[in-house]
Structure 1
Amino acid sequence: MVGRANRPPTLTSTPGLPPTASVTFSDDHSLVSAVLPTGESVSVLLHGATVLSWKDASGTEKLWLSTASALDGTKPVRGGIPLVFPFFGPPPPGLSLPQHGFARSARWEFLGKSTSESAGGVGVVDLSAKLDFGLSSAGLDAATREAWPFAFNLIYTVTLDRGSLTTSLVVSNDDEARPFDCQVLMHTYLRVADIAQTEITGLDGASYVDKVDGAATKTQSAAVTIAGETDRVYTPMASGAQVAVVEGGKKTFSVARDNLANVVVWNPWADKAKGMADFEPKDGYKNMLCVEPGAVSGWQTLEPGDAFEGAQTITYYS
């Protein structure tokens, strides 16, 4: 556990060797942070295993986080990278659980940390820090276990590299006899300078479900632009195709998916943002764009002993 006695507070470098990443914990052990020697950083809240912050070497924040987000575990975080499991959106009929499931609301366990360095060429060192988090059925409260009575295990890994952030989730069915169906999504809130000057490429020709237009099925033509409330579930034509965020004609992010067939694009726009108590500032929709890799257009059926793994890698461009 994070709070056990004598746990070293940081990873430090060995005298005579190149510096490595440092990993630290907040005083109340609710937050784990990693910082590379070159200055890049990431912070993960154990509540929901939610990535709250991801900064480049200059300290520029890459994720959007509402200033009204609850960080004390009382409700899911609005912003960063919340995790969606075991379903996306409202619960299926007869299932008494909150929207988007329980993963983003549960307290996760910090499982460990590791750092690495490798030669990336003459005078270049590639650095990374990996943080592992876990959640199992045994860690849920009684009401949640009663509502979703399957034995499962989740391993979530957040890997910070000099120019990218990778998040991966492994879902295992630990039930001895019963299969279960699930959905997975990484609800990434990217920070952008001006949503009116932002577009998403890589989805041209993809079919999508437009949740703002009665769940109508449509086909994307050209780049995606945001000019009002947007809530779409895309299925790109190529499962491994990269999606890019372009601001003012310049690519600022790319999002690569591994075994995640869908990309959700979301922005609440002005009217919906006003009605969301935890969305602040109210004009924050101008500076955020959700590009969310997931497996949500259908269900992943896991037989006893089976596992599902999906990942995203977000790369930023200066």
Structure 2
Amino acid sequence: MVDRPKKPLALATTPGLPPQPQVNFTHDNSRVTASLPTGESIEVLLYGATVISWKNRFGIERLWLSDAAKLDGSKAVRGGIPLVFPVFGTAPDHAATSKLPQHGFARNSRWEFLGKSSSESTGPSDTSVKLDFGLSSATLDEQAKSLWPYTFSIIYSVTLTPENLSTSIVVTNDGEQPIEFQVLLHTYLRIDDISKIQVTGLEESEYIDKVDAASTKTQSGAITITGETDRVYTPAKGPSHPVVVSEDGEAVYSVVRDNLKDVVVWNPWQQKAESMGDFEPKDGYKKMICIEAGSVRGWTTLDPSDAFEGAQTISD
């Protein structure tokens, strides 16, 4: 074989790009899934922009979802993170929201997927993915418009990192009159055994006990769940102080809020769980606790052209 003096040099190998977050739609465009190279994943239903799954890198589910949850858009989802807006519960004495259904219309509306963004850096643990969803008076169905005739837009963002899940909401008043609303991130956390749960970070906080005639009380020590629990706390230590869920003495969740002044702690217990048709299995109350960041004591007033932003970050 003749040795060519000017034979080409071997092409330099191009190093492969590091693994990227993956975002996919289901075939019927009803939900969006996202996963990180490190293994964490989320699933968001466009109906209600409801986060229905959050798994850690080991594939372990961190959110509780009822076996009977309706995922076809026929009713609000029982479990995951339903979005409560613009009213918490019902408010028959509040003129602007008195005609709205329980917990408002956000969790019963189809949201638009606005796109994704991701961050990559040299270390895989720095990778994250953010999914943005939109709802506005222009895209609201006619029935909801007639019940709440205000001009608004909302961007709801769901951000997954290897360490945590963040959900944030930005509400903008696009109209010419003030808007009054309440907002809540109705998060169902999955646990192993409710009898072994303690919730800390709410010590010395005032709360409304909705199971005891909406009486006002003050929390003494850690919260344990021994029966139906439905409490609206205004944490004494402010939104940046974590609310921690511990199981058998080990911290399993930490919830930090941004500009959401209240925390609802909820568990239906046996009798109420049995009365809810979409709550399955009926003893599922032993496997969940709701720690819900929101602004629901009183009303948030948003003047024309102003925006409200609130968020929560859940670490496991």
TM over 0.5: yes
SS at match of 2:107: coil
Task: State the shift of 1:138 in Å.
Answer: 1.1
Could you tell me which of 114, 117, 121 is aligned with 2:117? Answer: 114
1:99 aligns to 2:102 (yes or no): yes
Distance 1:125 1:241, change over 3 A: closer
* Matches of 1:15 and 1:188, distance apart in 2: 42
Segments of 4+ moved more than 6 angstroms? none
- Identity among equivalent pairs (%): 62
Matched AA of 2:164: S
* Matches of 1:199 and 1:172, distance apart in 2: 37
SS at match of 1:59: coil
1:182 aligns to 2:185 (yes or no): no
1:86-143 C-alpha deviation (Å, 9 max, x unpaired): 01011333522210000000000000001112245xxx64110000000001111112
SS at match of 2:144: helix
1:38-71 C-alpha deviation (Å, 9 max, x unpaired): 1100000000000000000110000000010110
SS at match of 1:149: coil
Structure 2: which 5+ residue stretches go unaligned?
A: 1-13
- Correspondence for 2:281: 281
Distance 1:125 1:219, change over 3 A: closer
- Correspondence for 1:6: none
Quick check: 127-136 or 234-243, which moved more? Answer: 234-243
**Please, what TM-score do these two structures have when normalized by structure 1?**
0.92
**Please, what TM-score do these two structures have when normalized by structure 2?**
0.93
Q: Is the Cα–Cα contact under 8 Å of residues 108 and 133 in structure 1 kept in the other structure? A: yes
1:271 aligns to 2:274 (yes or no): no
- Correspondence for 1:193: 192
* Matches of 1:88 and 1:289, distance apart in 2: 18
Q: Is the Cα–Cα contact under 8 Å of residues 38 and 125 in structure 2 kept in the other structure? A: no
Task: State the shift of 1:144 in Å.
Answer: 1.1
Q: Is the Cα–Cα contact under 8 Å of residues 293 and 312 in structure 1 kept in the other structure? A: yes
1:202-229 C-alpha deviation (Å, 9 max, x unpaired): 0010000000000000000000000000
Matched AA of 2:89: G
Structure 1 segment 156-305 matched on structure 2, within 5 A = 156-175=156-175, 177-239=176-238, 240-305=240-305
Q: Is the Cα–Cα contact under 8 Å of residues 125 and 162 in structure 2 kept in the other structure? A: no
- Correspondence for 1:28: 28
SS at match of 1:209: strand
* Matches of 1:83 and 1:28, distance apart in 2: 22
* Matches of 1:241 and 1:16, distance apart in 2: 42
* Matches of 1:304 and 1:258, distance apart in 2: 22
SS at match of 1:223: coil
- Structure of larger gyration radius: 2
Q: How many positions carry a matched residue from both structures?
A: 299
Matched AA of 1:301: T
